[in-house]
Amino acid sequence: MSNSDQGVAILVVDDEESLRETFQFFLKDQGYETVCTASAYEEAVNLIREQRFDLIVSDIVLGGQTGIDLLKQVRAMGLQCPVIMITGYPTVETAADSVRLGAFDYISKPVDKETLLKTTRLALRQYQLEQERQRSEAEKEQYRSFLDMIFRSVTDGIVTVDSNLDILEMNPAARLLFKEISPGSSDAKSLISLCGKEILQPLKHNVLETLKSGRESLAQIFEYQAEGKNKKVLSVASTPLKNMPDKAMAAVMVIRDLSPPAPPGSTRRRRFHRFIGESNAMQAVYTMIENVGPVDLTVLVTGESGTGKELAAEALHAESHRKQRPMVKVDCTAIPETLLESELFGHRKGSFTGADRDRMGRILQADGGTLFLDEIGDITAMMQLRLLRFLQEKTFFPVGQDTPVHVDVRVIAATNVNLREKVRAGTFREDLYFRLRVIDVILPSLRERGEDTFLLADHFIEKIAAKIGKNIQGLSTQMREQLRRYPWPGNVRELKHVIERACVLCSEKSILTTNHLPPEIAQYSLQTPAAPPSGAHAPQHPLPTTAFDPPQAAAQVEAELSPSERIVQALRKTGGNKAKAARNLGIDRSTLYRRIKDLQIDLSSLEL
């Protein structure tokens, strides 16, 4: 007997005492330690409930019950141990029943010792092999579950593909990533369809390189912009999968998100320095200023009139290491052209008529700090040249002085005109434009800021009401709707003046209503233009406007457009960029897609 047979428990069931004892003697003599006996069905069932047996040897005839009944009961109890049936009256029916119910073997009486021992060894051996197989399967399943748990819990995206680029497996992190990048593609069965977008081609090429060379590919870094999300930076690397069935080629691709974590408390901010607003457009501005402020480079702030360019300059200064030094502001349009040079660079006594004393220019006043040049787009060609030399060399010559003055100044410039167009027109130096536009901060119009209009209105009401000594309760629903509808060509500055006027006109403890609005705002509505007269041909697309067109003209054109024409115009203005078009319309990108679908706008026909 082998070592594996030690500790084996066997039950012998027979109503003949002599046969029970003979079987018990044979088995114990062979070395099986535990051999129990039972004379009847009930006794056998009780023993089986109390003790685990590795083998049951039972006679077919057991008084009132049969060995077949015992076999049924054993299987009903969920036991898988082998059962050997013994009978003195073998029939086809009993043999068939025994086999059908899972008996290991069927032996006819008289049973000799060798037959009993041989059948016992075979039954126990098969039972042990089956138990080992089940243990092995359980271990494999546990290991598979463990790997699956790891596969599903890792934050990196993992995708396995075969040589045809068919997807074998994809973990939840990868599905979530592709659902974000390319909605609807996460259920794709092939990497080719999964990476159908041009921006995802680096993923496919990385895997192809691995499948082609049979070696691990170098990690590649690329960017993508998910709809309505911040830009992400991803790393992708692939490695061949070994030990595949039939030695088939396969590869596993790992995608890791390298985007910097959101700063602590990076929930949507309503205030940032002197800015007020929580729209997506303003969150982007806040992040840009935080990133650009500490970097000691020239910044160009652009945006329509009234969007807060001076506030942006102040915020940039406050975020810089120069915040303890002065910030000097110069409005280039408020100073006569003949005096601007002296105002910026200073002059020496007697350098021109009326120069009765030395004067320190604004640049020298800002030494160690920040110089803010507002409306830079309106300076003369001569001033452009002098300013260019100062930006290049960080030195300047005061009027009437031959020796240069060196200063350490950071320059922030701002304009509401399109400097690129002025460069094309030859009225602004291209080299100065690029010197100023090392980094640019683009401020959104109030039309692009959605619910920020109400945040700003409430802020102005609180501030102005306290100043004029009135207890103003807020805005009526109709006034809020009118504020939402109006395009605000003068942006935040215009909104502030409108709220000031309304607060002055309203009575004590009152709600501001549309009666307190100027007529052009109170009566403003987005009307669909009338149909052209018979025989007339309406233009296929309205004339486009730009962010730098006169605000009143832009508002007038916008007021005359239908919803579909407004969307087409916004797409034409942005060259088909839906994210920018959505911002210009003051809506989310998902809303823009839905409106394009609802209005049945054919984008393929647009000449972008």
The CATH number of the domain holding residue 570 is 1.10.10
SS (H, E, C) 171-211: CHHHHHHHHHHCCCCCCCCEHHHHCCCHHHHHHHHHHHHHH
User: What's the pLDDT score for residue 312?
Assistant: 94
pLDDT band at 216 (very low <50, low <70, confident <90, very high): confident
Indicate whether 352 and 251 sit together in one domain: no
Sign of dihedral through CA atoms 558, 561, 567, 569? negative
Nearest to 608 by CA among 583, 579, 576: 576
Q: Please check the confidence at residue 538 and state whether its pLDDT lies above 60.
A: no
pLDDT at res. 309: 93
Q: Are residues 314 and 397 in the same domain?
A: yes
Amino acid at residue number 467: K
Q: Is the domain of 95 the same as that of 224?
A: no
- Examine the domain organization and report whether 301 and 404 are in the same domain: yes
Say if residues 286 and 188 touch (Cβ distance below 8 Å): no
Q: Does pLDDT of 4 surpass 60? A: no
Q: Is 543 contained in some domain?
A: no
Q: Quick one: pLDDT band at residue 531, thresholds 50, 70, 90?
A: very low
Residue predicted with more confidence, 539 or 58:
58
Which residue type occupies 230? Answer: N
Range from 307-311, 447-451, 558-562 carrying the lowest mean pLDDT: 558-562
Looking at residue 485, what is its pLDDT? Answer: 87
Domain that holds residue 567: 561-605
Q: Where are the beta strands (DSSP E) in 282-368?
A: 299-302, 327-331
pLDDT, tens digit, 9 for 90 and up, residues 502-513: 888 887 667 888
479/361 same-domain check:
no
Q: Which of 3-7, 222-226, 301-305, 472-476 has the highest mean pLDDT?
A: 301-305
pTM above 0.85, yes or no: no
Q: Which of 257, 290, 323 is the last residue of a domain?
A: 257
Residue 336 is assigned to a structural domain of this protein = yes
In a domain, 496, yes or no: yes
Question: In the predicted model, what is the mean pLDDT of the chain?
Answer: 80
Backbone angles phi, psi at 32, to 5 degrees: -75, 120
317 and 385 fall within a common domain: yes
CATH code: domain of residue 500: 1.10.8.60
Same domain, 122 and 31: yes
Residue 474, phi-psi category: left (phi > 0), alpha (psi -120 to 50), beta (remainder): left
What's the rounded Cα separation, in Å, for the pair 113 and 38? 20
What pLDDT, on the 0 to 100 scale, is given for residue 36?
92
3-class DSSP assignment, residue 285: helix
Q: What is the pLDDT of residues 69-95, one digit of tens each?
A: 888 888 888 888 899 888 877 666 776
Q: Are both 403 and 277 inside the same structural domain?
A: yes
Number of H helices, E strands in the chain: 23, 23
For residue 121, is it within any domain?
yes
Q: Compute the radius of gyration of the chain from its Cα atoms.
A: 43
Tell whether 18 and 69 lie within a shared domain: yes
Distance in angstroms (rounded) separating the CA atoms of residues 283 and 292: 14
Of the three residues 467, 496, 522, the one that is the final residue of a domain is 522
Q: Rounded to a whole number, what is the largest CA-CA distance in the chain? A: 143
Total domains, the chain: 5
The 10s digit of each residue's pLDDT in 295-350 is 888 999 999 989 999 999 999 999 999 999 999 998 888 787 778 887 888 777 76
DSSP letter at 399 equals B
Enumerate the β-bridge partners of residue 232: 224
**Distance of alpha carbon 2 from alpha carbon 484, whole angstroms:** 90
Percentage helix, strand, coil for the chain under 3-state DSSP, each rounded to 5: 45, 15, 35
pLDDT in tens, 255-278: 887 776 655 545 678 889 999 998
For range 463-468, the mean pLDDT: 86
Of the three residues 442, 472, 487, the one that is the final residue of a domain is: 442
Flag whether pLDDT at 558 surpasses 60.
no
Q: Which amino acid is residue 596, in one-letter code?
A: I
Mean pLDDT of 179-191: 71
Nearest to 345 by CA among 329, 365, 326: 365
Tell me which of 191 and 224 has the higher pLDDT: 191
- Token couple for 105: 């073997």
Pairwise pLDDT comparison (579 vs 445), residue with the higher score: 445
Q: Are residues 117 and 214 in the same domain?
A: no
Q: Could you tell me if 329 and 207 lie in one domain?
A: no
In a domain, 249, yes or no: yes
Q: Same domain for 371 and 451?
A: no
pLDDT value at residue 414: 92
